[in-house]
A and B are shown apart, each in its own frame.
Chain A
Amino acid sequence: MTVTAARPSAPPSPQPIVRASPGAAVSGAATVLVGAAGVALGVAAITRPLAALRVGWLLPLAGVSFEVTGTAGLFMVVTGAVAVAAGCYSVGYFRHAKTAMATLSVLPLFVLTMIGVLAASSVTTLLVMWELMALVSLVAVLSDHHHAAVRDAGRWYAGMTQFGFLAILIGLVVLVHSGGSESLSVLAARAGAAPSSTRDAVFVLTFIGFGAKAGLVPLHVWLPRAHPAAPSPVSAVMSAAMVAVGIYGVVRVDLQILGPGPRWWAMVVLAAGALSALYGVLQASVATDLKRLLAYSTTENMGVVAMGLGAGMLLADYGHPVVADVAVTAALLQVVAHAAFKSLAFLAAGSVVAATGQRDLDHLGGLAKAMPVTTICFAVGALGASGLPLGAGFVSEWLLLQSLIHSQPGSGTLLAVVMPIAVGVVALTTGVGVAAMVKAFGVGFLARPRSPGAALASESAPSMLVGMTMAAAACAVLALAPAVVAPALRSVLSATPQAVGVASPHFGVLLRLPGIAGSLSPLLLAAAAVVATLAVAGATAVAGRSRRAQCRAVALWTCGGGPLSERMEYTATSFAEPLQRVFDGVLRPDVDVEVTHVGASRYLVEGVRYRSVIVDAVEVRLYRPLLGAFETWAGWVRRAHSGSVHLYVAYGAVALAVVLAVAR
């Protein structure tokens, strides 16, 4: 098969679309406006306290009340900035007339409800906004509902998000009952007086609920389904901003309102984070669907964030407030950095999907020449996601490692056991994460096209490129000058009980940590690396130039097997095969080898069929039995509904008797 052979799955001929569709333009503009308003509100809240807003008539009984705190301000800036980039991008992405009106209208609403969650100052408002956010995002996920896979993803997402909502609802109702008020600020003042069993129950319930939204293992199962299913601007907003709203919930309720709590809370958060980071990164390293890979990477990153929060809680409990502060700073910076690089990666992935009609890395490749801007943008995002120097994710990871290694000997057996393990987890996560991102970029964009769709790709619409460039610029700023977010981080820390009155890390050209002999200058490092690389490249070009003839293009070495074809290339699956073998016990791939023999001889082989599917082990081992049990139980209930009116009357009589007996 030649590379240029036409195939029905190839995208429509790359006709230049001169004018955006009006619906997409309006929707994109509205999203950008809402996002910009969010950024402005967030910045205002960080710089000075804002007045509260109460609308009594809007919601019966409780009313709606908003007040943007400094903590919410940071997350609001993140959400708003992601929305601006995604909104701009969506104008080009949704330019085809077939995009449904529902999809177009929910994108700005989705951003608006997230801002509503962040601004909520009472429990009722928070819950209503949370549920609205869940519903609106569900509509967005179901944009392509005519595909069975998308409907399946929607069901999983709906189930998990409602489960999470239920946990938060019960937890917060218990909290309101014990605090006697539904204002979050009043609750924060009174939560310390609540009995410890109540606080424990509220902590567990809210951590489950917010953790499900943040995609922590084992509640992550909706992420790898919903992200690939949703349109790319929606995936970007969900993965970069909505999971961050889950983290906001953990910070606001579990750290600020309930905290500081007993030691086991910290261990739960740390353990959930470590599990998510490792499991997410391992799944990402073997995933071949580009957006599924990014979704697992989100689980990994939120795991790292939770590790930072957990380590901060633990260190504060052991009386190391300064180091604890570094850990929480690391977690918050990771949220900001993740929003930048993950929205960029999802937008670039969407640009690839729009141009090639392919999400499978095994069928991509060779995009660097056809789509240079998208390629550069994805490279910037992948560099950030891999946590390497010069990338957006490096500084937060460095802070986290610093906080983990600076719990001094003698502070307790638990710390001495937990911290080395945590360092090992973070280090292994980075190592495997690099392999995953190298795979996504190297296989997806370099080499040669592995399918006709990839061969015919062309660069995306200008508005999409502008959206991606904005996110890339944010990545560059965070990588080189993280000092810009320092005031926002301080505003969160100043509202966290365990961190009050503690010197926080000093951001400047040189990042210094208070009381810790450790410093880093991302700007200097990047400058030195770039200068050294250019110097080497220049010196090589100069050395021996007089004797050298012009560059000459030559054919590649293919072991004498003729011209290189796409069948000879390494694919994402083969690239990840050694890693898959190493982590066989965790990933448990479903491998099938089928050998057909010629005639009677078992020494001659006619054909070999090899099939390898990697399923989510958590889904298979935890959710399938759970769903099975649920179905059995539902079957029993169904058996009681026989359709006989007499039986129903009997049920009514029994129920009435029970009520009378209880209420007597």
Chain B
Amino acid sequence: MSGPGVVGTVAQVAAVAAGAPALVGAMRQVRARLEGRAGAGALQPYRDLRKLLGKQQLVPEGTTVIFAAAPAAIAGTTLVIASIVPLATLASPMDQAGDLFAVVGLLLLGTVALILAGLDTGTPFGGMGASREATIAALVEPTILLAVFALSVPAKSSNLAVIVANTVRHPGQVLSPAGALAFAALVVVIVAETGRLPVDNPATHLELTMVHEAMVLEYSGPKLAVVEWGAAMRLAVLLGVLANLFVPEGIAGTHAGVAGTLLGIAAITAKIAVAGGLLAAGEVFVAKIRLFRVPELLAGSFLLGVLAVTASYFLGTRPA
């Protein structure tokens, strides 16, 4: 366990925790501008969170401790993921404790907490959102695993820091067919996992289309603030991982000092901002697809994942 690694990890977790609302605000602002609206500004999510945190805590009748604890669970698991994945530094001491499968498992654990909270309310909306989210999560998981499996083949490890370090050493490897297929598959699953268009519309409250919003309908005040903050952090972490898997430039190595860590934070902030901007710009041009077309989209991305793995196996056998 190295000193700079600990500093870098604390810095990246703090950056994710503090910066995630700005990402959501910036993405909304990009959409607003492209749609010809003025927008509320990139800092609006902070104002929303402050407002929600100041409100009275309402407890829906008949809910149990699961409903009360789920927001903290989703935010907590995301913070742990933020400490494991290589965002700003490659030297996270938590990297040894969990690899890619653990990260996917923790993501799913957060999702499960929220699904159970939705079921716990007993309302039709809670059940509906929970059922839809469970279906999507069940189909997203295989694709994430396959896509990063494809990327782990050249690095011979499933630890994310090893994969990213390998890409730093051989930047050309991700430009292979396997890399391109894995990238496409990962983009689809990140869109699905974070509830963006065309899988889910974060701005809707129409019962026919809601997924995430239906599950969290009963939340209000401080608990809602934590749910929104957690969702924003998940988006930031997943975009950061995607960016670093393919463009790891600027990430602090194992022996980087304070300057290197600061550079790493700056680099990942810029990368997440660009990725978020592109995602938001892309969302302007697509409409939400029907709920029962979502499995087709996910099956497509699953196929891309299988192709990516197979490509990395067969193309990897050739001498370089």
Contact = CB atoms under 8 A, between A and B. Distances in A.
A577 B77 CA distance: 28
Contacts of B75: 532-533, 536
Contacts, number: 279
Interface in A514-568: 516-521, 524-525, 528-537, 540, 543-544, 547-559, 564, 568
A96 interface: no
Contact of A568 (B71, B124, B145, B153): B124
Interface in A442-478: 442-443, 446-448
A551 B309 contact: no
Which of B127, B138, B291 has the most A CB atoms < 10 Å from its CB? B138
Given A431-B142, A435-B138, A553-B59, A446 B97 contact: no
B108 interface: yes
Given A423-B145, A431-B139, A554-B58, A532 B79 contact: yes
B310 A447 contact: no
Interface string B280-292: 0000000000011
Contacts of A434: 108, 112, 134, 137-138, 141
Interface residues of B, number: 87
Interface string B149-168: 10011001111001000000
Nearest to B153: A409
A297 B80 CA distance: 29
A537 B70 CA distance: 10
Contacts of B142: 424, 427-428, 431
A387 B73 CA distance: 17
A557 B76 CA distance: 27
Given A510-B97, A582-B295, A556 B135 contact: no
Interface in B232-267: none
B186 interface: no
A416 B313 contact: yes
A525 B152 CA distance: 21
Nearest to A568: B124
A446 B306 contact: no
Interface stretch (B29-37, B114-122, B196-204): B114-122
Given A369-B64, A516-B157, A569-B127, A533 B69 contact: yes
A405 B124 contact: no
A394 interface: yes
Nearest to B132: A578
B235 to A, nearest CB: 17
A427 B145 contact: yes
B316 interface: yes
A535 B131 contact: no
Contacts of A405: 149, 152-153, 158
A536 B141 contact: no
A525 to B, nearest CB: 5
Interface string A361-395: 00001101100000000000000001111100010
A570 interface: yes
Contacts of A435: 134-135, 137-138
Contacts of A507: none
Nearest to A563: B61
B226 to A, nearest CB: 5
A428 B152 CA distance: 19
B146 interface: yes
Interface residues of A, number: 89
Contacts of B54: 544, 547-548
Contacts of A89: none
A624 interface: no
Looking at chain A's contact residues, the main secondary structure is helix
Contact of A578 (B55, B106, B223, B292): B292
B268 interface: no
B174 to A, nearest CB: 16
Contacts of A579: 134-135, 138
B105 interface: yes
B76 A582 contact: no
A402 B124 contact: no
Contact of B76 (A397, A401, A519, A532): A532
Contact of B79 (A448, A517, A536): A536
Contact of B156 (A397, A398, A408, A576): A408
B121 to A, nearest CB: 6
Given A431-B139, A446-B122, A556-B121, A417 B310 contact: yes
Contacts of B58: 551-554
Nearest to A567: B124
A446 B119 contact: yes
Contacts of B223: 540
Contacts of B152: 405
A432 B137 CA distance: 8
B309 A410 contact: no
Contacts of A423: 145-146, 149, 309
Contacts of A540: 53, 71-72, 222-223, 225-226
A576 B135 CA distance: 8
B10 to A, nearest CB: 13
Contact of A548 (B57, B96, B121, B144): B57
Interface string B70-113: 01110111011001000000000010111101100110110010
A432 B314 CA distance: 29
B310 A410 contact: no
A54 interface: no
Contact of B123 (A428, A430, A564): A564
Contact of B56 (A520, A528, A549): A549
A37 interface: no
A591 to B, nearest CB: 15
B158 A556 contact: no
A201 to B, nearest CB: 34
B72 A438 contact: no
A346 interface: no
A555 B122 CA distance: 12
17 contacts: A390-B109, A401-B101, A409-B316, A409-B317, A432-B138, A434-B137, A434-B138, A442-B119, A446-B119, A446-B120, A518-B157, A521-B97, A528-B80, A537-B72, A564-B62, A575-B134, A582-B292
Interface of B: 53-62, 64, 66, 69, 71-73, 75-77, 79-80, 83, 94, 96-99, 101-102, 105-106, 108-109, 112, 115-116, 119-128, 130-132, 134-135, 137-142, 144-146, 149, 152-153, 156-159, 162, 217-218, 222-223, 225-226, 291-292, 295, 302, 305-306, 309-310, 312-314, 316-317
Q: Which 5 A-B pairs give the minimum distances between C-beta atoms?
A: A570-B127, A533-B76, A447-B122, A442-B119, A431-B141
Given A517-B157, A577-B131, 15 more contacts: A401-B101, A409-B314, A409-B316, A443-B119, A446-B119, A520-B97, A529-B109, A532-B77, A536-B76, A554-B61, A557-B123, A570-B124, A574-B127, A574-B131, A579-B138
